[in-house]
Amino acid sequence: MNKLKRFSAVILSLAILMSVFSFGTVAAEGQGSGQTQITVQEQYLESARDFIRQKYNGEIPQEALSKATTLQEMFDILDDYSVFFSSDEFYSFVGSLAGSVEGVGVQVQLEEKSKYITIVKVYKNSPAWKAGVLSGDQIAEVDGVSVAGQALDAVVAKVKGPAGTKVRLGLLRQGEKDLVNLEMSRASVNIPSVHYEARGAIGYILIDSFSSNTYSGVVEALGSFDEKKITKVVLDLRNNPGGYVDQAVQLAQLFVPKGLITKLDFKDGAQTDETYYSSLSSLKYKLAVLVNENSASASEIFTGAVKDTKAGVVVGTKTFGKAKVQAFYPILNTGAFESLNKDMKPKSVNAYDFTYEPEDSQLAGWAKLTTGLYYTPNGDCIDLKGIEPNVKVDDQKLTEDNVPVNLLEALTVTVKPRLGSKYTDVFYAEHILKLLNYNVDDPDMTLDSKTVDAIKKFQKDNKVYSYGVLDFCTQKLLNSRLAALKQVKDPVYARAVQLIK
């Protein structure tokens, strides 16, 4: 039995552009009575070509494949969704879909002309959150060593680390003359893919991507709605590029009536096609699904199941149209290929073909390969076609710097920015003020004099003390205005609410 751990057998997502390193190896010369023998390198490359011919679902440019002399070249001639990763790139890619990372739990950015990395988000219940790190803090030191002027990646590498290890951050903070030094133990930090809130009688769920924690996040959201006796749900899949098939299927099992959800049809005859079903006997929620041209792959599995089974109404614009299925395969390097294939015919570069569990050092990397297509319950393949919504509504107009209204975040109500302060809360406050037609410049993290004047006017209009400080009272008022704006400035959401009321 194959002991090698299989990483997410099936994945559906839009192509992610990543750089890959060249794969090089020294060809082994044949030994014998003066006759030229096929080198290990030649055998290796031909085995890789056979692997692609067996597994890849799509048109293969055979001449280009036969001329390719590296794994990167072979996968580059296939579709946009097939790629060869080095091991480091693969684990980084999988980590992006895992829903968790090892570190302290902050999102950071480096602003132009700034010497310091700014923390723009602190994830709830993370080590940083528990230690008292705030959005807007700037990282000046890591473990007592200055990081001023260092590149973003360099600082991130110093802050990240294995769970259980400790790190001390020296932070520049508004209102503090001295560095704020906070020590924390790194941990596995949950990065949510699901965001939800109750909007009166409507339960709103936004899913960023189908990561490994998506299903559990939606279950949590529905539990919250159940406590409030909310049975009308708007599920927002706009700009969701896809992800894991199992997460899309499990989500569908919460909303789609008993019957077929999707069928996966694979190219390799030795691989069994897969069908997924729902056992839901009755529908608990009145559902609307929001989509646009960037809703793709796993998002379309769920959307197709909802539309075909009439489990809800699909609102928005036609989806992307990607029904291709990808799978991950570990690819042996030439040394492991030679040693493991001594008694094998045909020879294989696919580590999954061996009961032996290779070390990472024995892998050239990982292939993400298009292996099949999926079909909706009605038997439709939506590849290159997309899914037409039940009700077409053009997507919302973007804010002035191209931020969708539904993606604007509420202010944290943790600090009180004053003139000159640099905080994420300022960025969102300026967005809200601009949407409310107050006179502010393009939103950024700096509270300038023009924004102070706008805050004063907003405070005066709302009959609170008018002094231009973004205090907690003002932040709460802005948050309430944002909640209202999301319902009136987003025509797709507004139409969906009308349809399920």
* pLDDT, greater one: 97 or 202: 202
Structure tokens at 160: 């990240």
List, for residues 29-42, the tens digit of each pLDDT value. 233 334 446 799 99
Look at phi and psi of residue 251 and say left if phi exceeds 0, alpha if psi is from -120 to 50, else beta: alpha
Q: Is the pLDDT of residue 13 over 60?
A: no
CA–CA separation, 474 vs 202, rounded Å? 26
Chain centroid, CA 111 distance in Å: 23
Task: Using alpha carbons, select from 149, 158, 144, 58 the residue that is nearest to residue 103.
Answer: 158
pLDDT exceeds cutoff 70 at 24 = no
- The predicted-structure confidence for 211-261, as pLDDT tens digits, reads as follows 999 999 999 999 999 999 999 999 999 999 999 999 999 999 999 999 999
Tens of pLDDT along 447-493?
999 999 999 999 999 999 999 999 999 999 999 999 999 888 899 99
Parallel, antiparallel or unpaired: strands 232-236 and 202-207 = parallel
Average of pLDDT values for 401-423? 83
Tokens for 17, please give them: 């552009």
Chain centroid to Cα 24, Å, comes to: 31
Tell me if the bond preceding 346 is cis, omega within 30° of 0. Answer: yes
Decide: pTM greater than 0.85: no
Coil, strand, or helix at residue 81? Answer: coil
Averaged pLDDT, 43-64: 97
- Considering only the top CATH level, what class is 405-500? mainly alpha
Note whether 327 and 9 are within 8 A (CB): yes
Q: Cβ distance 406 to 486 under 8 Å?
A: yes
**Class in CATH terms, 102-190:** mainly beta
| Strands 274-278 vs 259-266: parallel, antiparallel or unpaired | antiparallel
- Burial of 420 (C-beta count, 10 Å sphere; 0-12/13-18/19+): exposed
Collapsing DSSP to helix, strand or coil, 463 comes out as coil
- pLDDT mean across residues, the chain: 89
Interior angle at CA 201, CA 204 and CA 197, nearest 5: 30
- The token pair that represents 492 in the structure block: 């797709």
The helix/strand/coil state of 74 is helix
Question: May I ask the CATH architecture of the domain 194-324+373-392?
Answer: Alpha-Beta Complex (3.90)
Residue 10: pLDDT band (50, 70, 90) is low
Could you state, in order of their start, the residue ranges of all structural domains in the chain? 11-95+326-369, 102-190, 194-324+373-392, 405-500
Q: What is the pLDDT of residues 316-375, one digit of tens each?
A: 999 999 999 999 999 999 999 999 998 888 899 999 999 877 788 999 999 999 999 999
- Find the mean pLDDT for residues 92-114: 83
